[in-house]
Amino acid sequence: MIMNFSGDLFSFKEPKVMGIVNLTPDSFYDGGKLISELDVIQHVDKLLHEGAEFIDVGGCSTRPGSKLITEKEEIKRVINHIRIIIKTFPNIKVSIDTFRSEVARIAVEEGAVMINDISGGNMDKEMFSLIGRLKIPYILNHMKGIPENMQKKPSYNKDILIEINHFFSKKISLLKKHGVNDIILDPGFGFGKTLEHNFKLLKNLSLLGFEENLILIGISRKNMIKSLLKISHENSLNATSIIHTIAILNGSKLLRVHDVKEAIECIKLIQYYKNIL
C-alpha cells in the first residue's frame, strides 16, 4: 500500500483519484478541449481543487480504432505542458501516459513521477529497462492488440481472468528483474475486450494480481457504459459513478477519471459506509 514517488512515500490505504489531462484532438470524450497553456493550467487547477492526488498527462490518443501519431508529435504535444504544469503546481504528482520510452524519459526529466503505459511494455522494448533505471512507479496495463485493431472481435483462448493474470505474472517477473518494485496493475477496460469481458473483470477485480499489487481502474465514460445503456459519453457521468463504486467495493485503489469531484464523492461514501458500526 506504500509507493515511492521520487523519495516521497505515498500511502494507498484509502482509494485515490487520478485526473485525466488529454492533450489530444481526438480522444473519445474530451479530445480537443485543452488547446492553450491557460486551458491546461485551469483544467489541472480544477482537478487538484476537487481532490485529485495524481494528474495523468497524455498526448497520443489510444481510443479504439485510433491511428498512432509519431513520437516527435507526441513529444511536441506533452513535454512543454508538463514543464508548465509542474512549474505552476510544484508539489503535483504527474503521470505520463505513453507507451514510448523516449517520451517517458523526457517527461520524467521534466518532473513526471510515474509512467502509465497502455501497452504493458509490448510496444517499446526499451520501456522496462528505462523504468528500472529511473526507479519510479509504473502502471502496467493489459491490452489485446493495438489501438487500431484491439476492438475487432477480441477473444481469449482461456478464461479472461486466467489469461490476464498470466500476462501480469510474466510482466511483473520481468519488471522485477529490471529492479522495478512499485507496480500498479490496470486490467485495461476497453482495450481488446467485449462488453462481457469488461464486466467480468469488474466483477472479479479481487482476483487480479493475487492481491499483491494495487489495481487501477480506467473506466471513466467509456464505451462499455455507452453501449450497454445506449447513452452518449456526455451523459454517462452517473453511470460512471456507479461503476466506480463497484470497482472500489471490489478492491480498486486508484481511479483514473475525467470527473474528480464525483469520484471523490464515491470514495467518501464508501469509506463512511465501511467504517460505520
- The C-alpha cell that represents 217 in the structure block: 481502474
3-state secondary structure of 106: helix
Reply yes or no on whether 256 is catalytic: yes
Of 199, 179, 190, nearest to 151 by C-alpha is 190
Q: Which helix (H) or strand (E) holds 79?
A: helix 71-88
CA pair distance 260, 236, nearest whole angstrom: 14
The three three-digit cell numbers of residue 124, written as one number = 517499446
The catalytic residue among 171, 193, 221, 256 is 256
Exposure pattern of 101-118 as b/e (b: 16+ CB <10 Å)? bbbbbbbbebbbbbbbbb
Q: Is 158 a catalytic residue?
A: no
111 neighbors 82 (Cβ within 8 angstroms):
yes
Count of residues for the chain? 277
CA-to-CA separations, 106 to 56, 59, 112, 113, in angstroms, rounded: 15, 13, 9, 11
Kindly name the residue from 105, 144, 171, 222 that is annotated as catalytic.
222
Active site residues: 222, 256
